[in-house]
Structure 1
Amino acid sequence: MEEPGASAAEDGPTSAARALGARIRALRQDRGMTLAQVAAQAELSHSFLSQVERGLERMSMTSLFRVAQALGTTQQALLTDDVAAGPRASGAFHVFRANEPTPLDAGGNPARVLARDHPRFVPMLTSGTFTEDLWWVHDEDEFVFVVDGRLIMMLGDEEFVMEKGDAVYYQGGVRHRWRTQPGETASVLSVKEGGVFCR
């Protein structure tokens, strides 16, 4: 299943996309899995996943979630682990700039991961149109803040309209998804615990 609008070919492979691809390839090889096996489990085409591993394509959050499941890890680990990095240095920091590249695509808009190198929590800023095509369930607690626009948040069987400035916190294991109204966009900051492996 190809992902329209996710190509990074216009600017060439970015360092962020190459880093994500390298992490996926390294973990896949460590698991003893072929490209075809991971692609099939993640419901992606073999050629698309090959392009991702080479840093030539960006992934959607949904596809990254499926690849992480196939590899027995989490989105956060794939987005923030550095396979070549050693233990985190005491007092280390990184300043994120507005023009830093992102390896993810959210409906044609970039999803910016604002942490790296084994963080304890993973902040992510996503802007654009959201659809409720998938229920999400993960072990990590999550905090969501609506920076701009309006978001329809579904937590279990309950639905909430989240306006600009509203926030929600939910524990791991809570089934959730969110969407925007047709024709509307939103900017959302989400923060998850930096878990490494799924149950």
Structure 2
Amino acid sequence: MGDHKEQPLRVGAAVRRRRRALELTLAVVAERSGLSVPFLSQVENERARPSRPSLERIADALGTTAVELLAAADPACSVDVLRADDEEVAPGDARVRALVRGHHQLHAMEFIGDHDGGRESQHRNDELMYVVDGAVEVEAEGRAYRLGRGDALYLSGGVRHRWRATEPETRVVVVAVADHIEAVENPSGRR
């Protein structure tokens, strides 16, 4: 299943994310890079692929490097199958497996075993925890929650939390909006 690694990268999304994070307009990037606004727009919308020299000019205008933009690029493939025995990491009492490979807008992990997230964490974006099997205790914003098989817990971005498995061989799936994604307000003013 390594086919996804041979796919071309979509660097336009990385360019757009970086530009928006810096709160720059296409016109400012065009002026700094010496490239046209229409060309930059086509790059961001994946309708044009910049040459290496053009990508370096764009990167300079965004205060980064072409290598960094390529590292943040999304694979062009839209389907990737991860088999049950693929890419398990951290063997031992607790095992962790990435369910989404690569650099994407969605981050998902499966935790199996005696996970004890003793240290408190806080993520930039929203997160969903689903208990596939077993049970967990979650402490979030000073409250304790007990979750069993089939239960789910939603945490909005910025909520401080920690969790631990309370039964052996507990399986938990955590799905989150990736940290490199900037959450935007919707028209109602809520995230």
Bin for the TM-score computed over the shorter chain: 0.5 to 0.7
Question: Does the 8 Å CA contact 1:150/1:185 hold for their aligned counterparts?
Answer: no
Query: One-letter code of the match for 1:186?
Result: T
**Alignment partner of 1:153: what SS?**
strand
1:139 to 2:124 alignment? yes
1:61-80 to structure 2, matched below 5 A, reads none
1:192 to 2:176 alignment? yes
Q: After superposition, what is the alpha-carbon deviation per residue over 1:122-166, rounded to whole angstroms, capped at 9, x for unaligned?
A: 111111112242000120210000000010111111001101000
Question: Does the 8 Å CA contact 2:127/2:176 hold for their aligned counterparts?
Answer: yes
Question: Does the 8 Å CA contact 2:106/2:176 hold for their aligned counterparts?
Answer: yes
What stretches of structure 1 move > 6 A for 4+ residues in a row?
Answer: none
| Partners of 1:84 and 1:168 in 2: CA distance | 32
Q: 2:78 is matched with which residue?
A: 92
Query: One-letter code of the match for 1:157?
Result: G
Q: 2:99 is matched with which residue?
A: 114
TM-score relative to the length of structure 2: 0.53
TM-score relative to the length of structure 1: 0.51
| Partners of 1:118 and 1:177 in 2: CA distance | 25
1:14-25 to structure 2, matched below 5 A, reads none
**Alignment partner of 1:131: what SS?**
coil
1:140-179 to structure 2, matched below 5 A, reads 140-179=125-164
% identity of equivalent residues:
29
User: What is the Cα deviation at residue 119 of structure 1?
Assistant: 1.5
Q: After superposition, what is the alpha-carbon deviation per residue over 1:53-90, rounded to whole angstroms, capped at 9, x for unaligned?
A: xxxxxxxxxxxxxxxxxxxxxxxxxxxx996685432x
Equivalent pairs, count: 116
Question: Does the 8 Å CA contact 2:94/2:115 hold for their aligned counterparts?
Answer: no
The answer for unaligned runs of 5 or more in structure 1 is: 1-14, 16-80
**Alignment partner of 2:158: what SS?**
coil
The answer for unaligned runs of 5 or more in structure 2 is: 3-67, 183-191
Quick one: structure 1 residues 158 and 118, their matched pair in 2 at CA, closer, same or farther if it must change by over 3 Å?
same
Question: Does the 8 Å CA contact 2:114/2:170 hold for their aligned counterparts?
Answer: yes
| Partners of 2:98 and 2:85 in 1: CA distance | 12
Question: Does the 8 Å CA contact 1:145/1:165 hold for their aligned counterparts?
Answer: yes
